[in-house]
Structure 1
Amino acid sequence: MVIELYTYPVGFIFTFFSILSLFRLKISLTIKFGIVGNILYCLSILTSIPMMYYFTRDTPLLLLLLSRISLLIINLIYLHKLRLKKREITLEDESEIRKTILNLGTKFMRLEVREISEKCGFDRDSIIGVLKKMIINEEIYADFFQTTNTVSFDQQTNIDEIDRLMTVYKDWEKDHYEKET
């Protein structure tokens, strides 16, 4: 009974924050608040089921619990789909992330993913995906540490690679200029 007294008001508070977040168009936050509020409502129903069922055999209470649990499952599925959709990025977004990583990679030897995220404005999962692609394709010479979400650049090798590409470009430009004249 004591748990039930606390979970109803707290559940209402989380429902209120869920609705408020929805008006501010923060969908993932809305779903998270809804999930927490739903869990609290389920807890309040679960605490009263043994007593209510023993004395009154109240099946509407069981139906309420089942509806809350199904709503919780639907919310969790929707949150998972939202996270998967957030990971999908366009080619323009990917090129913007690549530019930021290349730019910061020549300036700093060690970066956290959140620092890259602050500069380019994309989420952590998108940056990690692009970063891993760049390391595998040897576009950058770096090591990515999953546990700390840190990138350690081999700065000198990256600078040497950029210098090599610049000389190739200058040679191409020189050949192109000579062909025109």
Structure 2
Amino acid sequence: MDLTPEEYSRQAKDLWKSIKPEPDAGFKNDADVDNAAKRVAETPPQSMRDVEASTDVRSSVMSVAKVTAGAQLAGGRYGEKTIMLERKADGTIVIASVQAVGPQGGHVTGVTKDTVAVAHVHGKGLEHAPGKGDHSSVVSASVPSFVIIADTGVVWGVGRRGGTYVQRQIKGSDVGPWQAFRPH
């Protein structure tokens, strides 16, 4: 795919209209969500190094958050939309791939050695903060995660500092302080 944030923003509406949620990747109920969160919590981290998105990666996520949150999936279906961002050799940040899973979230695939961030949308009516497994890319791949809240436009960054999983709220250019990861 390899779309710059500007290219992605122009194409997002049509792009997402062609994508159906992957039924086998999505959680079916709260018990599935709880079981996945438990597996993430029991997974030893890939490393204990600090994980925090750079300013340009965070800016790229913020620049596509609204268009991603507002995009409709194929056939008007509801699902959790996820984008994977990579940094190219020339330093350019691109949206490398997208994925949609069921409305309660699911297993994200497509994180590679070049992934610099994973961002997904909590749709209208879902949690307004990171959920139980929303730090999974930080744990399993040492890749920062972002949670875009469709109802409010707020974005949460999720990372790791000093061995502790952390989150912070981002509203436009206002970046809040890190606080302990408190999944809802």
Question: What range describes the TM-score normalised by the shorter chain of this pair?
Answer: under 0.3
Higher relative contact order (CA 8 A, sep 6+): 2
Quick check: which one's strand share is greater? 2
TM-score, L = length of structure 1: 0.24
Larger gyration radius, structure 1 or structure 2: 1
TM-score, L = length of structure 2: 0.23
